[in-house]
Amino acid sequence: MKLELRGITKRFGALAANDNVSLVAEAGQIHCLLGENGAGKSTLMNVLYGLYQADSGQILLDDKPVKFSGPGDAMAAGIGMVHQHFMLIPVFTVAENVVLGHEPVKFGGVLDIAAARKKVREISDRFGFDVDPDAIVGELPVGVQQRVEIIKALITDAKVLVFDEPTAVLTPQETDELMAIMRQLRDSGRAIVFITHKLREVKEVADKITVMRLGKVVGEAKPSDTAEAMASMMVGRAVDLEVRKTPAKPGAAGLEVSGLNVWNHEGQQVLNDVSFQIHAGEILVIAGVQGNGQTELTEAILGTQTKHHGSIKLSGHELLGKTVKQVLDAGVGFVPEDRTEDGLVADFTIAENLMLDRSDRAPFAKRGVLQLDFLAKFAAEKVAQYDVRAQGIQAKASQLSGGNQQKVVLARELSRELKLLVASQPTRGLDVGSIEFVHEQIVAARDSGIPVLIVATELDEATQLGDRIAVMYQGKIMGIVPPDTDRTVLGKMMAGLSA
């Protein structure tokens, strides 16, 4: 089945998330929709799936115009979607999840779960998925959950399959398997739309590439084009995909973590005997699939994890068991992974956010009274230095783009006298320009001679930024390796196999 989107426009208030977007996806092709975060790819697909109504434009299937008032219509017309955040119910079985919405029933609406099981098995066998229909979805590995999402799309016999950023949560091996599945589905005559911002994957699997920027289609690319060419199309200017840095000059051991165990509030052990050292002037990247204890590790350093055992020493001084304030005062800079939730107060101004950590002391406060003149001067200086694009220092943090929010967080954390920088997924969701900037700042912090700990979930970022890479899996460090280690080796470690 051929899918055509013709002149789709979708506005949210004044913002045109999609501005006259057109694309054609042919049967038997993998059509990549390439663009940065916020380029309007997901909006477009939500329009296609009936979750949003377009303000203007047409959807055509095999040249016949169709109209979807909800996902049910889109599914009935043969469109299937594999969502970025899986649309699966964790407490249901695979079979229940797969048939939800179009359940086989016996008389009187009684669920025919045997028929559901059979359908799952059929599809699972046909594509070699190896999924147990009776497994509880929440207990399955992420990669298998994704296959359940795919089965869910296939069970309605979808002829057009949309994959929305499907590799964000996968290990490299799982990504390879997914690529194979996508090819297999293409070869079975389906049209595949693959939404992504990862150039490596596009080059590997795409038959046709449409590039989007700021809600518009900016052109088509060929899989044979260089990554740089695609990136500059995506961003709108020439970009440098390499992180520029000189070889590290590691000094004395700065941060020493030994035998660290942490339990979460449910009593589950989330860090298991974690030990590593970071030297002054060195970047250690913690790589691994999200949710394997990286967050808890950074929080243990900051002091927001309460059930712990072991030791975290910074220049010989114990940090574990100290309050957050004591840790910050010891010279720890902390960039949290969720900047809107943990990094900033959304309703505060840029200026207020810049002094959150030191509003209790001179020169920001004297005898408990805030020194607003000093703050204004300080904020103006930082906004200029970090190139925060905003309508002045009184703009609220919530009004800033992701990149500018991250710049505010960095400006605050790096304007203290640091002995350690901890940054958790510092470039998540940022545009390419902001990513370059953040990387520069991190490398500059390293070159100032402090140890730097970065949590990265994207392998490319890990290998480019890190001087050494520690891979975490289920709360354990699987090994610490140099950044030029082979991707498949890193992938195996991310899947829990020792190096």
Partner 1 sequence: MKLSNKTPIILAVVAFLAVLIAAFAPSGTTEIKFQAEGDLLPLPNIDVSVMAVTWFAAILMLLLAAYSWFRRLVQKRSSIAWLSPVFGVLFVLSVLTTLYAGKTMTLTALLQGSLSLAVPLIFGSLAGVLSERVGVVNIAIEGQLLAGAFCSALVASLTHSIWLGLITAGIAGALVALVLAVFAIRYVVDQIIVGVVLNVLVMGITNFLFSTLMGGNLALFNSPPRFDTMPVPLLSQIPVLGPVLFVQTPIVYLMYLAVGVVWFVLFKTRWGLRVRAVGEYPKAADTVGIKVYRTRYMSLMIGGSLAGIGGAFFTLGQVGAFGKEMTNGAGYIALAALIFGRWNPLYAALAALLFGFSENLQFGLAIIGSHVPSEFLLMLPYALTVIAVAGLVGKVTGPAASGKAYIKS
Least Cβ distance, residue 474 to partner 1 (angstroms)? 13
Contacts of residue 131, Cβ cutoff 8 Å, sequence gap at least 6: 94, 120, 124, 144, 147, 148, 151
> Cα(170)–Cα(289) distance, rounded to whole angstroms?
7
Would you say 284 and 451 are in contact if contact means Cβ atoms under 8 Å apart? yes
Distance CA 134, CA 142 (A): 16
Q: Which is nearer to partner 1, 149 or 201 (CB)?
A: 149
Identify the CA nearest to 241 among candidates 287, 279, 203: 203
* Alpha-helical segments (H) within 303-454: 324-329, 350-354, 372-385, 402-414, 432-447
What's the full length of the chain, in residues?
499
Query: Taking the complex as a whole, how short is the minimal distance between the CB of residue 262 and partner 1, in angstroms?
Result: 12
Complex with partner 1: residue 15 or 87, whichever CB lies closer: 87
User: Rounded to the nearest whole angstrom, what is the least distance from the CB of residue 324 to partner 1 in the complex?
Assistant: 25
CB of 16 to partner 1, least distance (A): 17
Contact residues for partner 1, defined by CB under 8 A: 46, 49, 51-52, 70-73, 75-76, 81, 83, 87-92, 96, 100-103, 105, 108-111, 152, 263, 266-269
Select 164 or 436, whichever has its Cβ closest to partner 1. 164
Kindly tell me which of 78 and 466 has the beta carbon lying closer to partner 1.
78
CB of 34 closer than 8 Å to CB of 198: no
CB 32 within 8 A of CB 179: no
Q: What is the longest distance spanned by two Cα atoms in the chain?
A: 77
Least CB distance to partner 1 at residue 135 (A)? 17
Question: If 0-12 CB within 10 Å is exposed, 13-18 middle and 19+ buried, where does residue 290 land?
Answer: middle
Q: How far is the CB of 131 from partner 1 (least distance, A)?
A: 18
What is the smallest separation between the CB atom of 57 and partner 1, expressed in angstroms? 19
Q: Which is nearer to partner 1, 30 or 88 (CB)?
A: 88
Angle, vertex CA 96, rays to CA 95 and CA 102, nearest 5: 105
The span from the CA of 25 to the CA of 80, in Å, is 14
3-state secondary structure at position 159: coil
Alpha helices in 330-422 (DSSP H): 350-354, 372-385, 402-414
Which residues, 6 or more positions from 3, have their beta carbon under 8 angstroms from its beta carbon?
Answer: 24, 25, 48, 59, 60, 61, 79, 160, 191, 193
Least distance in angstroms from the C-beta of 49 to partner 1: 7
Provide the 3-class DSSP secondary structure of residue 240: coil
Structure tokens at 114: 């045997």
The edge-to-edge listing of strands for the beta sheet with 3-12 is 15-25, 3-12, 56-61, 64-66
| Closer to partner 1 by Cβ: residue 162 or 199 | 162
Our CB check for partner 1 shows the closer of 93 and 171 to be 93
Measured from the CB atom, the residue of 110 and 384 that comes closer to partner 1 is 110
By beta-carbon proximity to partner 1, the closer residue of 96 and 201 is: 96
Shortest reach from residue 105's CB to partner 1, in Å: 5
Q: Which is nearer to partner 1, 100 or 142 (CB)?
A: 100
CB of 51 to partner 1, least distance (A): 7
